[in-house]
Amino acid sequence: MLRLYRELNKVSPLRTAHDIELERRFFEQFVPQILHPNTGLPLQLFKYQVDSIHKFFGYQINLWEMGRQVGKTSDAGLILTFLSQEMRGDAVITSYRQEQSTDIVDWTKRWCRACRDERYANGITNDATTEIDFNTGFRVIAMPHGHAARGKTTVMVITDESELINDQDLSALLPTGLTTAPKRLHMGTVWGTNSWWWNFIQNADSRHYALTQFTSEEALQPNGPIIKSQLDLLKEELGDLQYQQECLLIPIPDVDTFFGTDLVESVKGERV
């Protein structure tokens, strides 16, 4: 009966009273204090952002399968900003491209400075490109993919471009031993159908992972931040097949087998 209730109501079996309290404080106390760094106006979250962040507080492992330009990076930074005054330990970030990880670090700094509650900005004790330290004992660290998180007190793991991170790199990042399992947020689009990322997506319900799926076209204004003309330009730059994967979340079966991450690494350039 309890299992049926959880399934119907999408309630995590590991949800705690602390999770519920953090969720309440995030939406009722933290968000109203935020001015958007780009506009200076009070932060207004779109519905899909509200839904995905609610799930974040309710589940140990979250999957954000979202198209390009929907705001995954800035949303991750917003969560880290809030947690900087709520947790101790290390939030470790990795992505296929190091600049994606440092973008999340940068967004965390921007949100801290955009909060009218001065504890967030004043709480920063070390401000570097790849790391932020807070006076609460919370740290945000951007690591190159494949590097082990040894020597760190990992309380949270974030992966961006998860579709391009291989199994070995993911294993290196996750702590081992008799430690408390860190909260995990895996973000990405799609690249083939043979990776751990695609497996996680396909089995999210049975494993009690929280899955949020949202395409770039669903995030067009007024339902999201994307301007149609900009998305049309991106489609032209990417081409149909890549656009379908990165924006519409339609994978090309087996593309990750024939064009693995080693090959992608050898030919990659700057993101458009």
Residues 83-98, mean pLDDT to the nearest whole number: 95
State yes or no: pLDDT of 184 exceeds 70. Answer: yes
What residue ranges do the domains of the chain occupy? 15-267
Sole residue written with tokens 């458009």: 272
Residue 5 pLDDT exceeds 60: no
Cβ–Cβ under 8 Å, residues 93 and 104: yes
Q: What is the pLDDT of residue 192?
A: 86
pLDDT tens for 12-53 read: 555 688 899 999 999 999 999 999 999 999 999 999 999 999
Q: Is the pLDDT of residue 262 over 60?
A: no
Q: Which CATH architecture has domain 15-267?
A: 3-Layer(aba) Sandwich (3.40)
| Predicted local distance difference test score (pLDDT) of residue 259 | 53
Distance CA 52, CA 67 (A): 14
CB 46 within 8 A of CB 225: yes
Residue pLDDT, tens place only, 108-124: 999 999 999 999 999 99
Looking at residue 257, its pLDDT comes to: 53
pLDDT tens-digit series, residues 197-242: 999 999 999 999 999 999 999 999 999 999 999 999 999 999 999 9
b/e code 5-28 from CB counts within 10 Å (16+ = b): eeeeeeebeeeeeebeebbeebbe
Least confident of 3-17, 154-168, 252-266: 3-17
| Rounded percentage of the chain residues whose pLDDT exceeds 70 | 85
Burial of 89 (0-12, 13-18, 19+ CB in 10 A): middle
| pLDDT mean over 177-193 | 84
Place of tokens 């492992």: 61
pLDDT band at 190 (very low <50, low <70, confident <90, very high): very high
